[in-house]
Structure 1
Amino acid sequence: MATLFPLFADLHDRPVLVVGGGAVAERKVQALREAGARIHLQAPTLTPALQALADAGRLGWEPGTFRAGALDGVWLVIAATDDADTNRAVADAASRRRVLANVVDDAALSSFHVPAVVQRGELQIAVSSGGGAPMVARHLRRQLETWLDESWGALTALLARERRRIRARFPEPGARRRFFEQLLAGPLPRLLRQRQPEQAERLLADALAAPVSRPAGAVVLVGAGPGDPGLLTLNGLRALNEADVILHDRLVSDAVLQLARRDALRIEVGKSAQGHSVRQESIHALMLEHARAGRRVVRLKGGDPFVFGRGGEELEFLRAHDITYEVVPGITAAVACAAYAGIPLTHRDHAQSVRLVTAHCRDSLDTLDWAALARGRQTLAFYMGVAGLETVQARLSAEGCPASTPFALIENGSRAEQRVITGHLDRLAETARHHQVSSPALLVLGEVAGLADTLHWFGPAPLAAPPRSDHPAAATLPHAA
């Protein structure tokens, strides 16, 4: 089913056709009357309530079956009959005339859907399942009904009355948004809940009369986690909703970015071993430019900004240029990806320590203490290591790490497309090539990695290493050549 475009239609004094005269049509007519539409009915008979409205001249009624010419000049049509042929005829005729049509309880025939609505005065919240699961929308509406009290209507009406004054006082959108955020986080909503509208109006007037200071820019380093938006912290979500500018890494998932303010300026500043990369100096310059312009900047990083994220370098730069900053930690890939693969990084029987290692390039690999990494009873988590797996395998083997040491490669950890590939150290690079492992992928090496085969809980079961080329059965497999 196609994604629907949400909108609120102004139907005041505009003609709308309703085909049908039963109980369902009666409910649709009530909603349309509240919107001020000029309603015309086509139906052989009407319910008593609809008949009374027709007799009083509050809606038009054409007795009889559906006539396609009745669609001429209407803005939209609702088919609310229990006859499938009639409903299809309405939908077909509306489509030919490019008139939006809703066929009650038939999403396939509808070109628009009527959502479940929570209304508090002029404030309306519409919930839609795209017509596919209306009971889910209704269930959510009931939950919203319990959360939103009537003061929300009063709040909406107050701010609507003062809209011109607010826009005149704060013509710049960013300053206006910050004014609203401070206002709504203060006592104004409470005063309206307590039925004190005069005090609420005075508070708003005082806020509009207060001197306006130039906003101070700031930068927040936010860890986005490995991809699952549910792993973003509450502080991270708050920062994304307050940001004017978001400088995000290439590996930050679309699902996380969708949680940010829609009108924030988004700039990808990712680094990649292949293809386009943004130099760290350019990232520094962007942070400085936007913060000095008074904007709130979120530097959004995959995982945690202080674990192989160059967050320390960025704070040093901001401090040197007297820019206010804040850090919101994220769940680093080693913790999250291992957990989503069913791998405990520490285990009383297998590993009493964890080492986080970057294998981003040959320079970083050459500086590692391979003898220490080859010791037993520990877990190794290699970040950004897809290109260096052959080196990792060779160096650990040379330092005496057993060939039977289990590994797990976690590709797209925590995301819908997560894959886990398991095996043993002596076939690490071969297995990665066979399964065409690509970035982002995390390598977990150590006895705990062997638990992935039995403790996995997220996504498909782990994939195994391919049969050895000298295995009797391998000759029948295409990849064994």
Structure 2
Amino acid sequence: MKRFPVHISLQQRRVVIIGGGAEALAKARLMLAAEADLTLIAPKIAPATRAALEGSVRLIEREPAYGDFRSAVIVFIAGLDREAARRWVDAARAASALVNVVDEPSLCQFTTPSIVDRGRVTISISTDGAAPVLGRKLRADIEALAPPRLGALAEFADLYRPSVKACIPADRRRTFWERFFDGPIAARVLAGDETGTHEEMIALLNRPQTNETKGVVHIVGAGPGDPDLLTVKALRLLQQADVILYDRLVSEEILSLARRDAERFYVGKAKSNHAVPQEEIESRMIDHARQGKMVVRLKGGDPFIFGRGGEELEALQNANIPVFATPGVTAATGCAAAANMALTHRDFAQAVTFVTGHAKGEADPALDWSALAALKNTLVVYMGVTKAGKIARNLIAHGRAPSTPVAVIENGSRANQKILKGALSELPALIDAGGIQGPALLVIGEVAALADGETLLSIADRKGLAA
């Protein structure tokens, strides 16, 4: 470690910037965020710099003078040639100020890090001036992992520090705070829902401190399979989880992003093959949470669009387990994007309807085929491959044109995705010829004609079956 990182308060302390261009403006914005008493001096101040800073910074348009550095804590020099910069470095140091010269590490007494700002939580990254772009990349990675309301959580904890000190013996405080930050109250503060959290915190402080803890469950959407479509919040929860229960549709690439030492349990389902019954999945989540663990129930797509998320949410609430929902990119939008196809289009479809081809048990879903056929908009069918023939016949029998375009998207957004398209009357033949096994999505409507993909003819050509 060549430089020791220190976070200092600059509130109402004098900072001087020599320079009037874009680099000086960038430093000025940093100092204003730190509430410094800021002066910017340059022979010529760029119009953009003046416009951005006028009214909040002392702007002096002239050559710097030695007296300008008197009582300054920090001096930045930006946009000057090396010889001019060196002269003002000496003047600033003589006034006992710390000096930073932009893009001249050898002249700097300190460097400015890349900063992740979450209010009371500040994370800084420095490469000692050797690789600033690397520092910015690391900052972007940390920005993705640091919850936006991390500062609010720190404020909440700070509010209760005196109470914790008064109520919790010194030898148990660290354990208390570790459990708090992994617990349901912290999760609610981070989620922006602080309703009742103060009452819960007071109750927690007044509760006898034992080794028993109460865990939390997050029902999380993993998206259609491409790890780049995982939400930032879902990634953060995966890297914090003690236990992960995951479905068949969750890709290995997404699982590889999870915390290494998390317990993982496969609870996937396929048609007529439930590896773990639904009731047992719910029981497992409840049991793990009651052991004080942070549980992530990871589901492909979005948990609340044909993903049984609603059933699991209800079971956890009935068991008085804190539970939070994190949506994912659902298969419909993910697969449509993979096929370069819009689900709505001003010329072809002013609405989209999501239905399932698979109801509870082995029964057909109770769908109003007359209404679905009459809409003439986009119809997206989840879990419809095995009943594609019946779906096509019902729609045609109730008035949908046999020539209506359809698209079949298997493993959408993944490396092994397959996209086929044709007419509604061809749907069963299209699935059979393309060897579609699932998971797959059926898109029915005029927009399907715009999708990338193979047709029956192109499949036949590829297989060498064309006449």
Alpha-carbon distance between aligned partners in 1 of 2:176 and 2:246, rounded to the nearest angstrom? 23
Report the Cα offset of residue 468 of structure 1: 11
SS of equivalent residue, structure 2 residue 408? strand
Per the alignment, residue 241 of structure 2 pairs with 243
Instruction: Give the 5 Å matches for 1:294-333.
Output: 294-333=292-331
RMSD (Å), alpha carbons: 3.3
Alpha-carbon distance between aligned partners in 1 of 2:230 and 2:464, rounded to the nearest angstrom? 43
Please point out which of 329, 335, 353 is paired with 1:337. 335
Contact kept? 1:352, 1:377, Cα under 8 Å? no
Report the Cα offset of residue 397 of structure 1: 1.4
Report the Cα offset of residue 416 of structure 1: 1.2
Per the alignment, residue 280 of structure 2 pairs with 282
> Which amino acid counterpart does residue 417 of structure 2 have in structure 1?
Q
Alpha-carbon distance between aligned partners in 1 of 2:459 and 2:253, rounded to the nearest angstrom? 39
Contact kept? 1:248, 1:268, Cα under 8 Å? yes
Report the Cα offset of residue 241 of structure 1: 1.1
Contact kept? 2:304, 2:310, Cα under 8 Å? yes
Instruction: Give the 5 Å matches for 1:13-28.
Output: none
Alpha-carbon distance between aligned partners in 2 of 1:468 and 1:436, rounded to the nearest angstrom? 10
Alpha-carbon distance between aligned partners in 1 of 2:335 and 2:138, rounded to the nearest angstrom? 38
Report the Cα offset of residue 233 of structure 1: 1.1
Q: Structure 1: where are the runs of 5+ without partners?
A: 1-139, 150-168, 186-210, 454-461
Is the aligned partner of 1:233 residue 2:223? no
Instruction: Give the 5 Å matches for 1:127-166.
Output: 143-145=133-135
Per the alignment, residue 379 of structure 2 pairs with 380
| TM score, norm. by length of structure 2 | 0.55
Is the aligned partner of 1:358 residue 2:348? no
Per the alignment, residue 347 of structure 1 pairs with 345
Per the alignment, residue 439 of structure 1 pairs with 438
SS of equivalent residue, structure 1 residue 375? helix
Report the Cα offset of residue 143 of structure 1: 3.8
Per the alignment, residue 266 of structure 1 pairs with 264
Q: 1:261 to 1:141 in 2, by over 3 A?
A: farther
Q: 1:244 to 1:177 in 2, by over 3 A?
A: farther
Alpha-carbon distance between aligned partners in 1 of 2:269 and 2:253, rounded to the nearest angstrom? 20
Alpha-carbon distance between aligned partners in 2 of 1:335 and 1:221, rounded to the nearest angstrom? 20
Alpha-carbon distance between aligned partners in 1 of 2:303 and 2:363, rounded to the nearest angstrom? 19
Q: 1:176-233: per-residue Cα shift (whole Å, max 9, x none)?
A: 9869989xx9xxxxxxxxxxxxxxxxxxxxxxxxx88643201000011000111111
Q: 1:366 to 1:239 in 2, by over 3 A?
A: closer
Alpha-carbon distance between aligned partners in 2 of 1:477 and 1:447, rounded to the nearest angstrom? 29
> Which amino acid counterpart does residue 435 of structure 1 have in structure 2?
G
Q: 1:345 to 1:259 in 2, by over 3 A?
A: same
| TM score, norm. by length of structure 1 | 0.53
> Which amino acid counterpart does residue 299 of structure 1 have in structure 2?
R
Identity of aligned residues (%): 49
Q: 1:315 to 1:179 in 2, by over 3 A?
A: closer
Q: 1:417-455: per-residue Cα shift (whole Å, max 9, x none)?
A: 1111000011100011001011111110100000114xx
Per the alignment, residue 457 of structure 2 pairs with 466
Q: 1:351-406: per-residue Cα shift (whole Å, max 9, x none)?
A: 11111011125955351111111124310111011111111111111112101100
Q: 1:215 to 1:424 in 2, by over 3 A?
A: same
Q: 1:404 to 1:284 in 2, by over 3 A?
A: same
Aligned residues: 281
Contact kept? 1:358, 1:364, Cα under 8 Å? no
Q: Structure 2: where are the runs of 5+ without partners?
A: 1-129, 140-170, 187-208
Contact kept? 2:238, 2:259, Cα under 8 Å? yes
SS of equivalent residue, structure 2 residue 387? helix
SS of equivalent residue, structure 1 residue 426? helix
